[in-house]
Structure 1
Amino acid sequence: MNEQTTGSHAHAKADERGRPGIGDYYSATQLRTDRWSALRDVAEELALHGTAGRKGQKMLAEADKLFAALAPIERYWAFPGATAFDYMGRLLEHRKIPDFTHAVRRAARALISGAYRRRSVMLTAEEAENEDFEDEVALSPDARSLGRPYFEVLIVDDLNEHQERWLRQSLLRARRPEDAFIYEPVVVPSLEDALIGILFNHNLQAVVVRPGLTLKSQNGVEILNKHLQDASEDEDVDAISPDEYGPETCRLVHKIRPELDTYLVTDRSAETIATLDLGGCRRVFYNQEDFLELHLNILRGVNSRFKTPFFTALKEYSKQPTGVFHAMPISRGKSITRSHWIQDMGAFYGPNIFLAETSATSGGLDSLLEPRGPIKKAQESAARAFGSKQTFFATNGTSTCNKIVVQALIRPGDIVLVDRDCHKSHHYGMVLAGASVVYMDSYPLHEHSMYGAVPTREIKHKLLELRAAGKLDRVRMILLTNCTFDGLIYNVERVMEECLAIKKDLVFLWDEAWFAFARFHPAFRQRTAMSAAGSLRRALRSPERTRLWDQQQEALKDAEDEDWLNTRLVAPPDARVRVYATQSTHKTLTSLRQGSMIHVHDQDFKGETEQAFHEAYMTHTSTSPNYQIIASLDVGRRQVELEGYEFVQRQIDSAMSLRKAIGTHPLLSKYFRVLTLADMIPAEYRESGVEAFYDARRGWTDTWDYWSSDEFVLDPSKVTLAVGGTGWDGDTFKTQILMDKHGIQINKTSRNSVLFMTNIGTTRSSIAYLIEVLVSIAKDLDDLLDDASKMERRSFEYRVKSLIEHVPPLPDFSRFHSAFRNGSTPEGDMRSAFFLAYDEDNCDYVDLDDALLARLKAGEELVSSSFIIPYPPGFPILVPGQVISPEILTFMRALDVSEIHGYRPDLGLRVFTPEALKEAAGAASGG
């Protein structure tokens, strides 16, 4: 990001009525919604009080200003549309206030409620009187589902008014009563307007590029031009020649929003078009005005994403009369409807969930373990949506997905480089697979009691250390968490390329449990495992990459490891791209609990891994999977392909609104602080120098170009709030204040912070409620301190100081004991340590007291026999076979969390006896 763009709107002031100025908005969509609401309010006042007098004239001037502010924005939307908007403009110009108020009121209400998506909204009073419809708010969900889904089509062509009217009428005539969907066209003249449109208008599902388009946009709205800056990053749009405008528009649309269908109308020869990169263009029309064919293709393209093979099959199955003679009494709801005691369950869930219950072995539906029908098609649709080569559904969470991938790829003795702070399922997966584990340390954030992510330099250092020891051939996999619970995101392509430069056949497992939504936003997408795998694979095939690799090999021919560490490494052209990602669909997208996916982009999957993967999948997947979870995965995929961009953008907008509210509220800022990029990511990992999404003095940092350069970025949808200033630790603030008093649920805390995660279901109302709650808490603290005695104040200040200043340092991974290591390199045999502890005679317990700390500082070696996992942070601080360092013991003694899994306060810390370690060392050495 260019630092000069930071705060470009920072000093835009609110208007006289206290409404935010343009610079207060992070999102153009929020700006549009609020401008319509403001225009409606002004129109209502004009209708009520009239235009006479000083106040009336002032209100008229405000209406003119708001209307003028909306004019350049509305060209990118089909509703209310240019004709209706011009009509309202004439009413305002001629001061026909009652008619103007009526039209604005109906337009604003239709926009807020979404009514325009289901019916034509009449804006004149005469038309409205003849309307026959129910109020949108009063419609039931069932009634809403009966309507045809609505979307908009962007047509890119520089047309005059007469030509545009003819084009719209031609598409209107192509409509048929049997069409499954309804759409309206949006016409823009230029390539740049097309790029703004696809990022601003979330209703768009298709783009039609026609021969008459121009290059440059004439809009002058700064918040819209932000979209253009984001879209054209890394692209020299000005260098495009006129004969390439159409093909380049298709390519850029596909690059920015690959889920959209594009269609090219051209007068160029087929031979010429065949040589060009058209992105994902679904069809080329050669200089013909066959509007019915275009119309049918548009509907067919949307329908391909709308289809839900398994959910549709499940609905059809539930309608069939069936006699149940297999092992599921609940199937068809029979065991419930015949019961005298569990009727409340049937009433609560309704009949459909039981009608859809069956067994895979009964032949009613497809099998998850051997999919050949609708489940197979649903997984293929998911692979298309998420950009993978293969996608597999899981009905028992990402914990199981992680174990499946590890078991499929790792053989006993293989070395795996693991993020020490990753989810506990990975650590247990290492035990099951018999991996030799090398733990890598993330950079610590001591003052916030949390870890960051593993620097690329640390990963390269471990690889080079193993290379020097002659063990590089045993290194099989690198396992990292992207994005972390706290929102830290890797530069995925850079990490993989630099590691492949050291060992060209490495396998990468990216745990993206909290990152399933990322595919559906242009900035996030480039940092996902599947997108980075595709990009890296294309890059490795380029002649330029071969040249760069040859040059670097020459430069590093006799280089020391330190030189390798200090060099941005280039992967060899023959490197194998082998990438897996596990995602908790249920955590960040629409799915029932435990619905997860495994995405695969592995060049060697078919030839090397497929059979082993199938066996691992069979090992960990139930033979009785929950069909409702599978159906929800299918429907969740449909949703994100059709409206994922809209929902993710709203999710980001919500988080940004929360940041701004806390950062600018004088009372909130006394006790709370949102942690910034600079707080979460040290400067050496932020090449751009960007420090915060929002700063009260400078405003928004509102471009995304630093996402392509910085080693780590922060997920803006996650808001970490420092609460040490309240005197409550994070766990107390979470349970006793937020949850018990105000009904606000969160997951993640640290000693002095809590994490608020927005998601695709977060609304502006929920953000407003959270802000209201935080203000209430701050007011209560103010009142408490105002009434406090001198000693009570001193006690409060001490608690705050202990949470903010006296924070125990976070310990690094110590090492595996020599009994579980082979040589001087750091990999450890955690499996043998894990099973050694099964014999109670091999273990003892020690108290976490001063005497134990003194023993450790004196050099005594004590070795953990268990996983020790405090919640929070939720990852092991000790694993079986790990030496307990004084730093780890100090950290454990300072923990004030409610749970420490693996630790028994009544007995102490479980460790191996000296005799057990001696026996294990003898077994490892062959003695």
Structure 2
Amino acid sequence: MPDENGRRLTSISDYYSAIQLRSDRWSALREAADRLAEIGPEGRGVVKAAQRVDALFEALAPIEVYWAFPGLHAFDHMRRQHEHKSWDELAFSVRRVVRALTSGAYRRRHVPLARDEADSEDIEDESTIPIEARALARPYFEVLIVDDLHEQQERWLRASLARMRRSEDPFIYEPVMVPSLEDALIAILFNHNIQAVIVRPGLRLKSQNTLPILTRYLTRIGNEDVDSLMPSQYAPELCRLIEKVRPELDAYLITDRSVEEIAGHDLGRCRRVFYNQEDFLELHLNILRGVNARYKSPFFTALKEYSKQPTGVFHAMPISRGKSITRSHWIQDMGAFYGPNIFLAETSATSGGLDSLLEPHGPIKEAQELAARAFGAKHTFFATNGTSTCNKIVVQALVRPGDIVLVDRDCHKSHHYGMVLAGAEVVYLDSYPLHEYSMYGAVPIREIKHQLLALKETGKLDRVRMLLLTNCTFDGIVYNVERVMEECLAIKPDLVFLWDEAWFAFARFGPTYRQRTAMNTANFMRERLRGEDHRKAYEAQQAELGEAPDTETLLDTRLLPPPNARVRVYSTQSTHKTLTALRQGSMIHVNDQDFKGEVEQSFHEAYMTHTSTSPNYQIIASLDVGRRQVELEGFEFIQRQVEAAMSLRRAIHTHPLLQKYFKVLTAGDMIPEQYRESGVSSYYDPEQGWADFWECWSQDEFVLDATRVTLAVGGTGWDGDTFKTKILMDRFGIQINKTSRNTVLFMTNIGTTRSSVAYLIEVLVEIAKELDDLLDDASKMERRAFERRVRSLVEDLPPLPDFSRFHDAFRCADHATPEGDIRSAFFLAYDEDNCDYLDLHGELKEAMSSGRELVSASFIIPYPPGFPILVPGQVISEEILAFMRALDVNEIHGYRPDLGLRVFTDEALARHASRTLAKAAE
């Protein structure tokens, strides 16, 4: 329904999430109510204005069922104000609601909506309240109660819980009541304030809500058959589904069934079962206790307590307690900038309850255990010097010299250096290339299986130790973790998996994302492999394959692992990159069935090797608090993060000026069709609206992380690095860190706001307008020059090179499989007499033309893309040289422009080859 200015309610199809829809509908209702109050009952346009308010109330009605504020009673009261034409009162009430929702005031205090009850029309914005005052406020949450109650029963239940409140309670909460299992699932996926769910025996199965944007949430529970449930199963099944969908939530089951009946059901993370009683005090205390279990941050609390102690410092670190700063006449500005607490909490002592990171027994140990629970791991270890160190720890702990490791070639450089330290024989796996955008995707499962089967055929499978993959990649390509693990275990049942999830720590707390995380998949597979259904499916597949299936058959079959396969999974996460933690705060998560018996000792040795004896306690505290945050509000923040990215996608897709110079790369652009079984090619289409990407995330071999928006900028005539540095950063203060030759990557995070997205769109529009003006005034030759620059960035792109091979001097004698000894090549280059430097554009080309086989003596890492295109011991190919010559980046790590490319001499290679052969003959 349009208003008097011709504006229409935006269509539901314009919104990716119901949260955005709710926020915008309330803002629109405020404007409409204000307009109606201004017009008055007899004013011009009153009919249209009233119809617009009616339409907005209708749009909000099915949404408000799932929220405690303003609540259905207040919502119905506002509708009656409208029906009675009390439009001044309506406008006042709606303004109060919108301000409270925007500011978060309803979380801190009761917000009266009637004019005669309100102490002030002004509601203070939370951002204006001093952080010290906000820290003293009791956190607010909502409790979902699932039961089909009539109005009188509902009022009694609310009143009974309200009477249990005490002034000493650490938190405050308000109830939200829904009647059915489906409504409960919609609520926990829609309302991020919900922290606990009370499941009562009177619930029904189906929701009466038909709003598509809400019922779409039901698809995210996966392939669950709830229609066949008996009424007696509704409550236990809901408890199980709550754990599947949002495992961080607490569930409480109230049942009138016997202990024996309920005991056999899977109740998920149900914290307490109440049998046929209404013990409201016990229920209230359990709710608070459950939330407090997630709110606890043992190390941060210990650090705060330490900072309050009067201490005489007689150890290292003059900065401890801030003494070297407060006594200084020259660095007082540092103390003023950081404030006193950071120095009061700084120490090198492990006493006073602060614990040791290397041998934790107190609050650090407890903090790591809480992190393991939060991320679904069996063990979690904190790191204060980044995920680069985490990667080296895991590799050193698990890989012995001579072990074969399969590694995606374009993984982070720390993995390559980890292979050197461990002495691994490396088989590099090639990702599929995206030549058009000068970037790589991910490694197809067929390529991984091909290498494993080749190693098996040559009798080397027993030496294969680990598969190392990046999930998700910097550009946002996410693996089907379950499929990779099950098919690899079918070939090598004790294979160890290291998933580099540096950019994926947030994924645990989004239901769609969680299914593709290492820890979630490990837990699922451990349970699945024990099941009778899996045993039967495995035996059936083995019978179908026969005793000696050929390689092509195995490559074409989705293989099932044997029931006795060992689930051995590690993931490393840069907590600081995607969650709240200080820089270099990272975690190692372990879900390895053989960790205790085989790995624990070597892991601790590796941890000791790489971890500082003087770790930064502020980083550890930030990891502790960051874990607390994501257990309590990670779901909300990640919803908003995805919403921000989707809004950016839609804005660029639909803006006619932006489409002239920019293109948002879709899943169809970044993932070849053969890896997208669902057929979903884009998350947003201007004609079709939003695609619910649950389907592709549940089945496709690769999917695209929606929180990353890769923008092709070749149409502007600027390469990615120039656009990043000279345009976005220097002119507009927009910071990004990933580019390719013709793209830039915008990464949303849990701190991204809708205002940030709006500013970015404004900047892109301004850039596009300037280009329009520039070309409008350009001469014929200037236009040609512009078109030539665009063509060089969009069409004339150098093909991305694959990994060539290791030189024979660094390979095993049979040369049947591609693994290479990267460690010996790395250390052979330590002797300068073994190396030579050849100019990239002269001597190197001449040497290759003469037939000489050139071998890199260094890691060569152009940035971007930021991973090695050459490693020590690798043969230099014509394709790699062509790619290097075409690079127009500022940094190529390992390459000396003044000297040239570092290569091994022929004599050094011959000597090393003879030593290798002699050693093999012994």
Q: Which category describes the TM-score, using the shorter chain as reference length?
A: over 0.9
Residue 855 of structure 2: which of 844, 853, 863 is its match? 863
Q: Which residue of 2 aligns with 1:387?
A: 376
Residue 118 of structure 1: which of 84, 87, 108 is its match? 108
* Aligned partner of residue 310 in structure 2, secondary structure: coil
Q: Which residue of 2 aligns with 1:483?
A: 472
Q: Which residue of 1 aligns with 2:839?
A: 847
Q: Which residue of 2 aligns with 1:7?
A: none
Residue 744 of structure 1: which of 718, 726, 734 is its match? 734
Q: Which residue of 1 aligns with 2:386?
A: 397
- 1:551 deviates by 2.1
Q: Which residue of 2 aligns with 1:378?
A: 367
- 1:703 deviates by 4.2
Q: Which residue of 1 aligns with 2:629?
A: 639
Q: In terms of mean alpha carbon deviation, does 80-89 or 18-27 score higher? A: 18-27
Inter-partner Cα distance in structure 2 for 1:540 and 1:854: 57
* Aligned partner of residue 99 in structure 2, secondary structure: helix
Inter-partner Cα distance in structure 1 for 2:48 and 2:673: 50
Q: Please say if residues 519 and 528 of structure 1, whose CA atoms lie closer than 8 Å, have aligned partners that are also in contact.
A: yes
1:62-105 C-alpha deviation (Å, 9 max, x unpaired): 01110111111001000000111111111011000111111000
Inter-partner Cα distance in structure 1 for 2:884 and 2:749: 33
Residue 483 of structure 2: which of 479, 490, 494 is its match? 494
Residue 27 of structure 2: which of 30, 34, 37 is its match? 37
Q: Please say if residues 13 and 23 of structure 1, whose CA atoms lie closer than 8 Å, have aligned partners that are also in contact.
A: no
Q: Please say if residues 501 and 570 of structure 1, whose CA atoms lie closer than 8 Å, have aligned partners that are also in contact.
A: yes
Q: Which residue of 2 aligns with 1:505?
A: 494
Matched letter for residue 462 of structure 2: D
Does the C-alpha gap of structure 1 residues 658 and 920 become closer, same or farther in structure 2, counting only changes over 3 Å? Answer: same
Inter-partner Cα distance in structure 1 for 2:125 and 2:584: 37
Q: Please say if residues 3 and 49 of structure 2, whose CA atoms lie closer than 8 Å, have aligned partners that are also in contact.
A: no
Inter-partner Cα distance in structure 2 for 1:697 and 1:136: 39
Q: Which residue of 2 aligns with 1:65?
A: 55
* Aligned partner of residue 816 in structure 1, secondary structure: coil
Q: Please say if residues 662 and 674 of structure 1, whose CA atoms lie closer than 8 Å, have aligned partners that are also in contact.
A: yes
Map 1:601-680 → 2, pairs under 5 A: 601-680=591-670
Does the C-alpha gap of structure 1 residues 802 and 130 become closer, same or farther in structure 2, counting only changes over 3 Å? Answer: closer
Residue 300 of structure 1: which of 289, 296, 312 is its match? 289
- 1:695 deviates by 1.1
Inter-partner Cα distance in structure 2 for 1:322 and 1:652: 46
Residue 826 of structure 2: which of 834, 851, 855 is its match? 834
Inter-partner Cα distance in structure 2 for 1:323 and 1:192: 60
- 1:561 deviates by 1.1
1:566-608 C-alpha deviation (Å, 9 max, x unpaired): 1100000000000000000000000000000000000000000
Q: Please say if residues 517 and 648 of structure 1, whose CA atoms lie closer than 8 Å, have aligned partners that are also in contact.
A: yes
1:218-244 C-alpha deviation (Å, 9 max, x unpaired): 01211101112223x201121111110
Inter-partner Cα distance in structure 2 for 1:791 and 1:485: 39
- 1:20 deviates by 2.3
Map 1:156-171 → 2, pairs under 5 A: 156-171=146-161
Q: TM-score, normalised by structure 2?
A: 0.98
Residue 820 of structure 1: which of 781, 787, 810 is its match? 810
Inter-partner Cα distance in structure 2 for 1:700 and 1:727: 31
* Aligned partner of residue 797 in structure 2, secondary structure: coil
1:793-850 C-alpha deviation (Å, 9 max, x unpaired): 0010011011011110000000000000002210000000000000111100111226
* Aligned partner of residue 499 in structure 1, secondary structure: helix
Matched letter for residue 805 of structure 1: E
1:664-695 C-alpha deviation (Å, 9 max, x unpaired): 00000000000000101001100000000011
Inter-partner Cα distance in structure 2 for 1:832 and 1:667: 55
Structure 2: tracts of 5 or more residues without a match: none
Q: Which residue of 2 aligns with 1:332?
A: 321
Q: Please say if residues 326 and 362 of structure 1, whose CA atoms lie closer than 8 Å, have aligned partners that are also in contact.
A: no
Q: Which residue of 2 aligns with 1:527?
A: 516
Inter-partner Cα distance in structure 1 for 2:767 and 2:711: 14
- 1:13 deviates by 14
Q: Which residue of 2 aligns with 1:209?
A: 199
Does the C-alpha gap of structure 1 residues 325 and 296 become closer, same or farther in structure 2, counting only changes over 3 Å? Answer: same
- 1:15 deviates by 9.8
1:52 aligns with 2:42: yes
1:888 aligns with 2:880: yes
Map 1:535-614 → 2, pairs under 5 A: 535-556=524-545, 557-614=547-604
Q: Which residue of 2 aligns with 1:875?
A: 867
Q: TM-score, normalised by structure 1?
A: 0.97
Inter-partner Cα distance in structure 1 for 2:2 and 2:425: 58
Q: Please say if residues 331 and 357 of structure 1, whose CA atoms lie closer than 8 Å, have aligned partners that are also in contact.
A: yes
Does the C-alpha gap of structure 1 residues 423 and 84 become closer, same or farther in structure 2, counting only changes over 3 Å? Answer: same
Matched letter for residue 353 of structure 1: I
Does the C-alpha gap of structure 1 residues 505 and 52 become closer, same or farther in structure 2, counting only changes over 3 Å? Answer: same
Inter-partner Cα distance in structure 2 for 1:676 and 1:273: 47
1:320 aligns with 2:312: no
- 1:284 deviates by 0.5
1:702 aligns with 2:711: no
* Aligned partner of residue 926 in structure 1, secondary structure: helix
Matched letter for residue 191 of structure 2: N
- 1:858 deviates by 5.5
Inter-partner Cα distance in structure 2 for 1:900 and 1:494: 36
Inter-partner Cα distance in structure 2 for 1:246 and 1:425: 48
Q: Which residue of 2 aligns with 1:142?
A: 132
1:465 aligns with 2:465: no
Query: Which one scores higher on RCO, CA 8 angstroms, separation ≥ 6?
Result: 1
Q: Which residue of 2 aligns with 1:83?
A: 73
1:899 aligns with 2:891: yes
Does the C-alpha gap of structure 1 residues 126 and 784 become closer, same or farther in structure 2, counting only changes over 3 Å? Answer: same
Matched letter for residue 879 of structure 2: E
* Aligned partner of residue 186 in structure 1, secondary structure: strand
Q: Which residue of 1 aligns with 2:244?
A: 255
Q: Which residue of 2 aligns with 1:757?
A: 747
- 1:441 deviates by 0.2
Q: Please say if residues 513 and 585 of structure 1, whose CA atoms lie closer than 8 Å, have aligned partners that are also in contact.
A: yes
Q: Which residue of 2 aligns with 1:5?
A: none
Q: Please say if residues 719 and 756 of structure 1, whose CA atoms lie closer than 8 Å, have aligned partners that are also in contact.
A: yes
Inter-partner Cα distance in structure 2 for 1:131 and 1:124: 10
Q: In terms of mean alpha carbon deviation, does 127-136 or 880-889 score higher? A: 127-136
- 1:706 deviates by 1.9
Inter-partner Cα distance in structure 1 for 2:5 and 2:274: 49
* Aligned partner of residue 487 in structure 2, secondary structure: helix
- 1:353 deviates by 0.3
Q: Please say if residues 15 and 21 of structure 1, whose CA atoms lie closer than 8 Å, have aligned partners that are also in contact.
A: no
- 1:552 deviates by 2.1
Runs of 4+ in 1 over 6 A off after TM superposition: 11-15, 130-133
Does the C-alpha gap of structure 1 residues 274 and 858 become closer, same or farther in structure 2, counting only changes over 3 Å? Answer: farther
1:97 aligns with 2:87: yes
Residue 776 of structure 2: which of 758, 777, 786 is its match? 786
Matched letter for residue 649 of structure 1: Q
Q: Please say if residues 12 and 23 of structure 1, whose CA atoms lie closer than 8 Å, have aligned partners that are also in contact.
A: no
Matched letter for residue 913 of structure 1: T
Q: Which residue of 1 aligns with 2:190?
A: 200
* Aligned partner of residue 48 in structure 1, secondary structure: helix
Does the C-alpha gap of structure 1 residues 275 and 671 become closer, same or farther in structure 2, counting only changes over 3 Å? Answer: same
Does the C-alpha gap of structure 1 residues 579 and 13 become closer, same or farther in structure 2, counting only changes over 3 Å? Answer: farther
Q: Which residue of 1 aligns with 2:914?
A: 922
- 1:543 deviates by 1.0
1:188 aligns with 2:192: no
Does the C-alpha gap of structure 1 residues 419 and 407 become closer, same or farther in structure 2, counting only changes over 3 Å? Answer: same
Inter-partner Cα distance in structure 2 for 1:35 and 1:433: 58
Inter-partner Cα distance in structure 1 for 2:496 and 2:746: 33
Q: Please say if residues 353 and 362 of structure 2, whose CA atoms lie closer than 8 Å, have aligned partners that are also in contact.
A: no
Q: Please say if residues 51 and 60 of structure 1, whose CA atoms lie closer than 8 Å, have aligned partners that are also in contact.
A: no
Matched letter for residue 206 of structure 1: A
* Aligned partner of residue 920 in structure 1, secondary structure: helix
